[in-house]
Amino acid sequence: MVKFTDIVKAFVKGIARSKVSLIGAAITTITFPVLVIAGILDVQGIIRNPYLGFFIYMVLSPLFITGLVLVFFGLFFFKGKEEVGLFTYDYLKEQFTAPNKFVRLRKLITVATFLTLLNVFVIGLVSYTGYHYTESVSFCGTFCHQVMTPEYTAYQNSPHSRVACVECHIGSGAEWFTKAKISGIKQLYAVAFNTYPRPIKTPIDSLRPVKDTCEECHRPEFFQGDKLIVKDKFLPDEKNTHVETVLLMKVGSGGYRGEKAHGIHWHVAPGNKIVYRYTDDARKTITDVTLTKPGGAEVVFSNDDGKSEKANQGTTRVMDCIDCHNRPTHIYLSPDEALDQKLLTGKIPTELPFIKRQAKEEVTRSYATLEEAKNSIATGLRSWYKKNYPDLVAKNPSMLNQAISGAQQAYAENVFPMMSIGWSTYQNFLGHGEDFDRGCFRCHDGSHRTATGETIPADCNTCHILLAQDDPHPKVLQGLRGSSNQ
């Protein structure tokens, strides 16, 4: 009768006889406890650091698996048959033909099965958690530190800060998973060898169709109604006067519960198809727009006066959410918006005279680094207020300090010199800018027309009703909020 311990010994001996197995066993034995401890620290969230994840899932785990492979490789192929003969054909034949040894073989199989199961379990766990690690916001957002800082910062301040990067950038399914991993390897290479573009180029051509990303959470048909938008602003005057712009935005729906598609989301109604042709990388110059209506009828709006040589130039694209919501989560504000937000939330004190104007002057200068920007914003504001409001600064120094820190934050959240991202690098298509030259007005500019002269509407009431503009006490809000305050 062969003892169970003998089997284990034979197994160990088998490993010991093969150098390859021995190396494998050494690797496995050393990595195993480290892997288990590091894994627990990571899974339990005791240490939160993207580099720990990288160490576990990209370094330790592959090493551990390599060790295992070496062990079994060695057992099968690299050992002297004559000695222990574990797992070789001769050995197995001998075990099977000699009846008294069959027991031993069974036990050996039990040991091997047990070890294999244990390893499969560990590998399974590691690949599962490793998969989740490479899909995590922490990996995508912070691993390549400098490169993703702008996107990660803007994302954290956005409505989608609880939606993982992969929900929009990869979506579900094996095909895009593989594509993403291949592209991820290219990106890691670009970061390692410092060959990535600064800033990262947009629009991203390879973005997955919205049907598999945005529309997994948002239904295009869904009735959004008319949305009241109140924009709080501060004028560049001595009092930093607080004013409001009020718009009733006709978001509408893509046709919900029997109701027809209407308003802004009419574009994404399942029956409508809008294909546009653009001639520049930024998709800003749109030469023609083809609307296919639910019945199949086509309408072409063109701005090239029917000059046919232009007709086939450029690239075509089917319009979807991203053509308006190109910044659903990486929302970089303009200097005015960023400062207004800080003033509204009290991060910059509104009592400090001319702070809107002065802060804007400081944050819109061009700086080579964030450090330089912060220092220069501080010294710039300090010297201006010392010169123009010496008493105020002497009496209440904390007010100026707070304003400086608020202005620095407004800068740091939106401008990233190390990635060459300035105030207007990434523009939002959701609107038209003060000069009516971008976003919606790439098409709604009145100059795209059909052969019979119809245009894409540019009338101010097409998309919204402007209820108040830069008004210190909008009547409409007094009515809605109750007349006691504005």
Contacting ligand HEC within 306-325 (CB under 6 A) = 319-325
CA dist list (Å): 22 to 19, 86, 110, 414:
5, 14, 21, 55
Instruction: Supply the minimum distance, in Å, between the C-beta of residue 51 and ligand HEC.
Output: 16
Q: How far apart are CA 182 and CA 351, in angstroms?
A: 54
Is residue 224 involved in binding ligand HEC (CB under 6 A)?
A: yes
Which CB atom, from 338 or from 463, has the smaller least distance to ligand HEC? 463
**Binder of ligand HEC out of 198, 432, 438, 449 (CB under 6 A):** 432
Report residue 259 as tokens: 């109701």
Binding mask 264-293 for ligand HEC (x = CB under 6 A): xxxxx-----x-x---------x--x-x--
Instruction: Supply the minimum distance, in Å, between the C-beta of residue 53 and ligand HEC.
Output: 15
Q: Are 339 and 363 in contact (CB under 8 A)?
A: yes
Determine the interface stretch with ligand HEC among 1-9, 94-102, 212-220, 348-356 (rule: CB under 6 A).
212-220
Is residue 149 involved in binding ligand HEC (CB under 6 A)?
A: no
**Binder of ligand HEC out of 30, 34, 112, 207 (CB under 6 A):** 207
Is residue 170 involved in binding ligand HEC (CB under 6 A)?
A: no
Which CB atom, from 22 or from 163, has the smaller least distance to ligand HEC? 163
Is residue 242 involved in binding ligand HEC (CB under 6 A)?
A: no
- Type of residue at 35: L
Binding mask 407-426 for ligand HEC (x = CB under 6 A): -------------------x
Q: How far apart are CA 244 and CA 470, in angstroms?
A: 5
Which CB atom, from 334 or from 405, has the smaller least distance to ligand HEC? 334
Determine the interface stretch with ligand HEC among 64-72, 84-92, 155-163, 363-371 (rule: CB under 6 A).
155-163
Instruction: Supply the minimum distance, in Å, between the C-beta of residue 204 and ligand HEC.
Output: 4
Q: How far apart are CA 401 and CA 386, in angstroms?
A: 12
| Phi, psi (deg, nearest 5) at residue 34 | -65, -45
Instruction: Supply the minimum distance, in Å, between the C-beta of residue 129 and ligand HEC.
Output: 19
Which CB atom, from 140 or from 348, has the smaller least distance to ligand HEC? 140
Which CB atom, from 6 or from 167, has the smaller least distance to ligand HEC? 167
Q: How far apart are CA 153 and CA 146, in angstroms?
A: 11
C-alpha 417, offset from chain centre: 19
Instruction: Supply the minimum distance, in Å, between the C-beta of residue 45 and ligand HEC.
Output: 18
For ligand HEC, how many residues bind (rule: CB under 6 A)? 77
**Binder of ligand HEC out of 279, 379, 462, 483 (CB under 6 A):** 462
CA dist list (Å): 21 to 16, 56, 78, 109:
7, 23, 8, 18
Q: How far apart are CA 209 and CA 173, in angstroms?
A: 13
Instruction: Supply the minimum distance, in Å, between the C-beta of residue 207 and ligand HEC.
Output: 6
Q: How far apart are CA 182 and CA 188, in angstroms?
A: 10
Burial 166-182 (b: 16+ CB within 10 A, else e): bbbbbbeeeebbeebee
Binding residues for ligand HEC restricted to 434-453, rule: CB under 6 A: 439-440, 442-444
Which CB atom, from 169 or from 242, has the smaller least distance to ligand HEC? 169
Binding residues for ligand HEC restricted to 185-204, rule: CB under 6 A: 200, 202-204
Q: Using alpha carbons, select from 355, 348, 357 the residue that is nearest to residue 402.
A: 348
| Phi, psi (deg, nearest 5) at residue 359 | -65, -40
Q: How far apart are CA 164 and CA 150, in angstroms?
A: 16
H runs (alpha helix) in 44-173: 50-54, 61-77, 89-97, 102-134, 137-142, 145-156, 165-169
Is residue 464 involved in binding ligand HEC (CB under 6 A)?
A: yes
Which CB atom, from 14 or from 141, has the smaller least distance to ligand HEC? 141
Q: What residues pair up with 400 in beta bridges, in sequence order?
A: none
Instruction: Supply the minimum distance, in Å, between the C-beta of residue 208 and ligand HEC.
Output: 9
